Amino acid sequence: MKAALVAQDGSVLYEARRPTGREHGTDAVVATILDFAADLAQEGRTRFGAAPLAAGVAVPGTIDERNGIAVFSANLGWRDLPMRKLLGERLGNIPVALGHDVRSGGLAEGRIGAGRGVDRFLFIALGTGIAGAIGIHGGIEAGAHGYGGEIGHVVVRPGGPQCGCGARGCLETLASASAVSRAWAEATGDPDADAAACALAVESGDPAALVVWQNAVDALADGIVLAQSLLDPSTVIVGGGLAEAGDTLFTPLRAAVTERLTFQMPPKVVPAMLKDTAASLGAGLLAWDLLSMEVTA
C-alpha cells in the first residue's frame, strides 16, 4: 500500500508504504488499511500541527463510488465492504472519498503528471492486467455504471486467449506484463522468465524476444486505435510495470499506432510520470475535490 499527505495544490508533504498483509486474510487487510490511515493522520498532526481535513482511498476491483462501497476485489478478498464509512469513523468522521485505483491514478496523471494541461487523455496502466481511465477537463469519466476506461477488456483478437472476465482475445490477455511474461516463458522454456527479461532480450536483439514483444505491441496499438476512434483523446498516457521498458516499448508502439491510423488524428503517446505513487496521489486529490464540493454546496 502507498499513502501520502497531499496539499491542496497536489504537492506531496509526506509519503509512506506498508504491506497489505493479505496473506492473513481479508479482515487483516481492512484493519491494516484503517491503521495505516490513522497513523498517517497522526503523522500530519506531528509534522504539521494539523489533522487532515479529508481522506481519500483508492482500491482495486469493483467499487460503488457514490455510496462508498468497495463491492468486490478478487486480490484482496472483500465483498460489499463499506470502506468510506469504516475509514470515516476511524479518522474522526472526516469526509472520505472512495476511488478506483487506476481511475485515481489517471486523475493524478491528468492534474499533476504527464497529462497536466491536457483537456482529453486516455491513461492506460500495463500491469498484471490492463486498465484505463478517460480524462476530460481535469476529471475522470467513470461511465454510467463505473466501468468507464476498461480498455483491458476490449477484444482485439476475437477467439484469442481466454480472459478472466469470460471473453476471449481481450487486450490484457495479449499486452499486459503478465501476458508478455507468459509468452516469453513459453518461448524460452523457462518458467521464471518474465516481461522484464523479455525487454532486456529485445534490447540485445534476440529474434524470439522481438516476436513476443511485437505481438504485444501490435495488440496494444490495436486497442489504442480503437479508443482513438471512439474517444479522440489528444494524449495517451501509458504507465504500469511494462512502461518501465521506456523506449523499448514506446518507439515501436508509436510506430504501430501511427501506421494503423486512417482518418483519426494521431495522439501523443507518452509515458506516465508518477509511477506507482499515482493512485495514492489521486486519492488525495479526490479528498480535496470532496472538500471543494462541500464548500460549493
Mean pLDDT taken over the chain: 94
C-alpha closest to that of 79 among 126, 45, 30: 30
Region 130-159: mean pLDDT is: 93
pLDDT at 70: 94
For residue range 66-125, what is the model confidence (pLDDT) as tens digits? 899 999 887 788 999 999 999 999 999 999 999 999 999 999 999 999 999 999 999 999
Burial classification of residue 116, based on how many CB atoms lie within 10 Å of its CB (0-12 exposed, 13-18 middle, 19 or more buried): middle
For residue range 51-60, what is the model confidence (pLDDT) as tens digits? 999 999 999 8
CATH class belonging to 2-103+276-296:
alpha beta
For residue range 241-285, what is the model confidence (pLDDT) as tens digits? 999 999 999 999 999 999 999 999 999 999 999 988 999 999 999
Q: C-alpha grid cell for residue 94?
A: 472526516
pLDDT at 176: 97
DSSP letters spanning the chain = -EEEEE-TTS-EEEEEE----GGG-HHHHHHHHHHHHHHHHHHHHHHHSS--S-EEEEESSEEETTTTEEEE-TTT--EEE-HHHHHHHHTTS--EEEEEHHHHHHHHHHHHSTTTT-SEEEEEEESSSEEEEEEETTEEE--SSS-TT-GGGSBSSTT-SBPTTS-BSBTHHHHSHHHHHHHHHHHHT-TT--HHHHHHHHHTT-HHHHHHHHHHHHHHHHHHHHHHHHH--SEEEEESGGGGGTHHHHHHHHHHHHHH-SSSPPPEEEE-SSGGGHHHHHHHHHHHHHHHHHHH-
For residue range 151-172, what is the model confidence (pLDDT) as tens digits? 999 999 999 999 988 999 999 9
Are 143 and 149 contacting, i.e. CB atoms less than 8 angstroms apart? Answer: yes
Q: Are domains 2-103+276-296 and 118-272 of this chain identical in fold?
A: yes
Is 60 exceeded by the pLDDT of residue 297?
A: no
Give the pLDDT band (50/70/90) at residue 296: low
Which is it for the CA torsion 5, 99, 29, 239, positive or negative? negative
Q: Which has the minimum average pLDDT: 2-11, 190-199, 239-248, 257-266?
A: 2-11
Is 60 exceeded by the pLDDT of residue 27?
A: yes
Are 243 and 114 contacting, i.e. CB atoms less than 8 angstroms apart? Answer: no
- Could you tell me which residues come within 8 angstroms of residue 209 by beta carbon, excluding any fewer than 6 positions away? 184, 187, 198, 201, 202
Q: Is the pTM of this model over 0.85?
A: yes
Is 60 exceeded by the pLDDT of residue 224?
A: yes
- Cβ atoms within 10 Å of 230's Cβ, excluding its own: 12
Q: How far apart are CA 117 and CA 167, in angstroms?
A: 36
Q: How far apart are CA 207 and CA 233, in angstroms?
A: 34
pLDDT at 295: 60
Amino acid at 277: T
Region 225-253: mean pLDDT is: 97
Give the pLDDT band (50/70/90) at residue 231: very high
Q: Which residue has the cell 515501436?
A: 252
pLDDT at 210: 98
C-alpha closest to that of 123 among 98, 99, 101, 155: 101
Q: How far apart are CA 228 and CA 230, in angstroms?
A: 5
Angle between helical axes of 207-231 and 177-188 (0-180°, round to 10): 160
Give the pLDDT band (50/70/90) at residue 9: confident
Give the pLDDT band (50/70/90) at residue 207: very high
Q: How far apart are CA 277 and CA 267, in angstroms?
A: 25
CATH architecture of 118-272: 2-Layer Sandwich (3.30)
Which is it for the CA torsion 180, 196, 154, 56, positive or negative? positive
Domain ranges of the chain: 2-103+276-296, 118-272
- Cβ atoms within 10 Å of 121's Cβ, excluding its own: 25
